[in-house]
């Protein structure tokens, strides 16, 4: 058995403003920094063989908090950089809805529409499936942390559980949430979903 911890970064100002961030390199808010520290404290007794992180600041800094508490080197990895939302990046959901009337249908099933100049979600999903299997096989029973973004985590979950893109928005991932996949006998099992209980700590 191998365990993969899919961890979302802390809060950013664009999260609060409901702006699509994608590959834009935004920073953590004061609350986001506090969330990262609480997350790391909750994981300090967990042993990780590897911690991979998106190179974007909001994920990398969150990952560094974990690495410091668990004495594990953090490795930047482009495979876990957030997907590109193309022409939607930097826009609020209200702005997008006004410009693209089909946005609400896209929220129901992203496979029905392509965001202009964005990454192809099916291609990203297939790529992530291969990478997750490789990590699970190489970890040989150890824990691996992947600190990334909501888009990547959603696609990773769909890939691991063999779910269609229509399920993309059926999962919610809070800032610094922990989702755990168990790899057993060649299949992924969902062990924990969107755990943010560490944010209740004082």
Catalytic residues: 9, 82
List the structure tokens of 42. Answer: 């909750």
Q: How far is it, in rounded angstroms, from Cα 122 to Cα 155?
A: 9
Q: How far is it, in rounded angstroms, from Cα 145 to Cα 5?
A: 5
Strands (E), 54-200: 74-76, 143-148, 178-184, 187-195
Q: Are 61 and 147 in contact (CB under 8 A)?
A: no
């Amino acid at each position: 058995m191998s365990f993969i911890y899919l961890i979302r970064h802390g809060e950013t100002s664009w999260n609060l403003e409901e702006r699509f961030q994608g590959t834009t390199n935004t920073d953590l808010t004061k609350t986001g920094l506090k969330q990262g520290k609480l997350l790391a404290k909750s994981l300090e007794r967990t042993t990780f063989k590897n911690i991979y992180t998106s190179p974007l600041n909001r994920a990398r800094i969150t990952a560094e908090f974990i690495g410091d508490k668990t004495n594990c080197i953090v490795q930047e990895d482009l495979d876990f950089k957030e997907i590109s939302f193309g022409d939607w990046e930097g826009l609020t959901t209200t702005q997008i809805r006004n410009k693209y009337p089909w946005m609400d249908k896209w929220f129901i099933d992203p496979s029905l529409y392509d965001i202009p100049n964005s990454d192809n979600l099916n291609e990203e999903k297939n790529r992530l499936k291969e990478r997750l299997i490789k990590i699970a096989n190489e970890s040989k029973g150890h824990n691996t942390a992947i600190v990334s973004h909501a888009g990547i985590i959603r696609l990773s979950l769909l890939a691991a559980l063999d779910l269609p893109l229509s399920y993309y928005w059926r999962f919610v991932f809070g800032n610094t949430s922990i989702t755990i996949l168990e790899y057993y006998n060649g299949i992924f099992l969902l062990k924990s979903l969107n755990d943010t209980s560490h944010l209740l700590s004082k």
